[in-house]
A and B are shown apart, each in its own frame.
Chain A
Amino acid sequence: MGTVAAHGLCKSFGKVQALDGVTLDVPDGSFFVVLGPSGAGKTTTLRAIAGLEKLDAGSVHLDGRDATGDAPADRDLAMVFQNYALYPRHTAYENIASPLRARRCSSSEIAAAVERMSRLLHIDRLLQRRPAQLSGGEMQRVALARALVRSPRAFLMDEPLTNLDLKLRVEMRTELTRIHRSLGATFVYVTNDQVEALSMADQVAVLKEGKVQQVGTPTEVYERPANQWVAGFVGSPPISLLACHAEGDRLVGAQGWTLPRPRWTTAEDGRALLLGVRAEDLSVEQRGNASLSGQLYGLEPLGDRTVVDVQVGSEILKVKARPTVTGTPGERVQVTVDLDRAHLFDADTGLSLSEAGR
């Protein structure tokens, strides 16, 4: 068992409202990712669940039992910190053994558990070293081993891969997913990296300014963003947003373009809207069922693809194209739009208007 339920978490630091009614339900055994930009309250959420932060309001239930007032030690959780927080005076072995020592396990039990963990994470050669003698990746593994050495209710991870270089981060991503699968334990994982969120999560909660914007599977969050902000935050290159309104069977852009009105939208005529289209649903190579004309603004070759920036009026569209695409800035470009995969948002509230008709 290992369910974590946080309800209506509120926390302010002075005048800053870090958490403003955050509610998360983490099912047993899931890899639950809390995604958001820095300052969104992700770490505070995690610390509140761990009991390291005193809440202004809200409750934390662990396995269905109210644990809001419990000390961190009584919650049976393990945490990996962003900066690892390895005890500097202790060897890697002693760091990993610490949770077991705190629980007064026998030294033979401890030795066996540390041995098992260090093998799993390939750090068995480093056990006698101190944190200062370890590289970033090694420290990260020791911190992970310290959390994994016992079987708590849930593992809390606070951006554990942020301080690693890119190659190691990709490796550890795979490794963490593997560990999660083999343990079948509950993971609550905080990150600002959408790639981590989309690639590792069973469930993603998108957080902004202390409020949960959307909870769903990675596919849901990517394919059906609940609002304009989530659409803009998740996805790279970012989604293109164009101001427009509906007029009969057409969408009329603020920059003078017109497109056929998508069948699925129910927005009434004249309401201020934002049309959101992802780069892969736009094309400069004749595809899709509607087109916009603009000027080539710039090319961004990324190896496997090229992102083409097209200026339509004063707005820039990000278009994904084949790496072979060429062009000179200023030249006229016709962009086709796959309207069936586009999104419409209310320009005032930012809420998605796409769901109703689909």
Chain B
Amino acid sequence: MAVSVDEAVSTGPARDRTPPARRLGGRGRSALEVALLTVLAVVMLFPVLWMIETSIKENRDVYAVPAQFFGFTVTMDHFKDVFVGPDGGRSALSVAFLNSAVVAGVSTVLATVLGVPAAWAYSRLAVKARKDQLFFILSTRFMPPVVVVIPIFLMYRQVGLIDSKLGLILIYTAFNVPFTIWMMKGFVDEVPAEYEDAAMLDGYTRLQAFWRFTLPLLVPGIAATAVFALIFSWNEFVFAIFLTSSDSVRTAPPAIAGLIGGTTTDWGLVAAASVVFALPVLVFAYLVRKHLVAGVTLGAVRR
């Protein structure tokens, strides 16, 4: 009997059949485990904590030697500087954040709208040379962006897409569609095709069957896939710095990187901008965390 997706993503206890990990000290975690995990946590979290600290320190505390971990004066000035320019108007950084939001949002929506139906088609329909096509789609992700950025720069200059948000949206969509197709195909494969067969015999067309019966079951997968696509577009640096130059188009990663250099670097501002940059992805991932975990495990578990 097929396990319905509802069951598979229920919030009930996870069906974990792996044997419990061997514990060194009987009940709970052993001291060694705790120590190792603590070390790991400190190593992983230190840069983040340092960034947050720097963003709320006054400049003289930022440059203090020896570095001050505690007992500095807290200030929100850097965060104000992120959004408000020296002339009291909008800062260049705030425009960059807005650009990032537009570019990442639109390219994610486009990649999802194009990729989900494509994944469904590759999963359900008899496509000629399906494996070869899927491999070709995947192969577009083999190359690191920096390898293709020069040809793309030249092509964009020819067609006038250089230094435009549309150009960035298109390139991010092109990078996210293969990823979306591959990840979504796994989710579509997990939804039994019989639901659509049954719907077609009920009297629905193939597309109606997909839209009404399969798509709702794919929502967790779509959420997970979209978050990954969004994070890619939001974080992307190489294309952004090569293909854009003006403040009105530039996205946040190159804009923040642009703060470093020159005669002096305002580390407080860099840190505050980085915190603001990191927040949306964290918040978004937190909001869809249920779907995210269900989505990631659903794709991985064999029925």
Contact = CB atoms under 8 A, between A and B. Distances in A.
B71 interface: no
Contacts of B4: 88, 131-132
B202 A102 contact: yes
Interface in B204-218: 204-206, 208, 213, 216-217
Contact of B194 (A72, A78, A81, A146): A81
A52 interface: yes
Interface in A84-115: 84-89, 98-99, 101-103
B216 A89 contact: yes
A131 B3 CA distance: 10
Pairs of residues from A and B, 9 with the lowest C-beta to C-beta distance, nearest first = A88-B4, A102-B203, A85-B194, A72-B200, A99-B202, A85-B198, A88-B6, A73-B203, A102-B202
A130 B6 contact: yes
A258 interface: no
Given A79-B198, A88-B7, A88-B217, A102 B204 contact: yes
26 contacts: A72-B200, A72-B201, A73-B200, A73-B201, A73-B202, A73-B204, A78-B201, A79-B197, A81-B198, A83-B1, A84-B1, A85-B194, A85-B197, A87-B198, A88-B4, A88-B5, A88-B7, A89-B6, A89-B216, A98-B198, A102-B203, A102-B208, A131-B4, A132-B6, A146-B202, A163-B1
Interface of B is mostly: helix
A50 interface: yes
B202 to A, nearest CB: 4
Contacts of A146: 198, 202
A83 B303 CA distance: 14
Interface in A37-82: 47, 50-52, 54, 71-73, 77-79, 81
Given A85-B194, A85-B198, A130-B6, 5 more contacts: A81-B197, A83-B192, A87-B213, A98-B202, A102-B203
A54 B125 CA distance: 11
B2 interface: yes
A314 to B, nearest CB: 43
B205 A73 contact: yes
Interface in B20-52: none
Interface of B: 1-2, 4-7, 126, 192, 194-195, 197-206, 208, 213, 216-217
Contacts of A101: 202
For this complex, into which size category does the number of interface residues on chain A fall?
20 to 34
A77 B5 contact: no
A136 interface: yes
Nearest to B194: A85
Given A50-B201, A78-B201, A85 B192 contact: yes
A136 B1 contact: yes
Nearest to A139: B1
A284 to B, nearest CB: 44
Contacts of B199: 87, 98, 102
A318 B217 CA distance: 52
- The residue among A86, A136, A163 with the most chain B CB atoms within 10 A of its own CB is A86
A86 B156 CA distance: 50
Contacts of B192: 83, 85
Nearest to B5: A88
Contacts of B194: 81, 83, 85
Contacts of A84: 1
B56 to A, nearest CB: 47
B195 A85 contact: yes
Contacts of B203: 73, 99, 102-103
A72 B1 CA distance: 24
Nearest to B10: A132
B197 A52 contact: yes
Contacts of A78: 201
B126 A54 contact: yes
Nearest to B7: A132
A98 B203 CA distance: 9
B208 to A, nearest CB: 8
A132 B7 CA distance: 7
Nearest to A98: B202
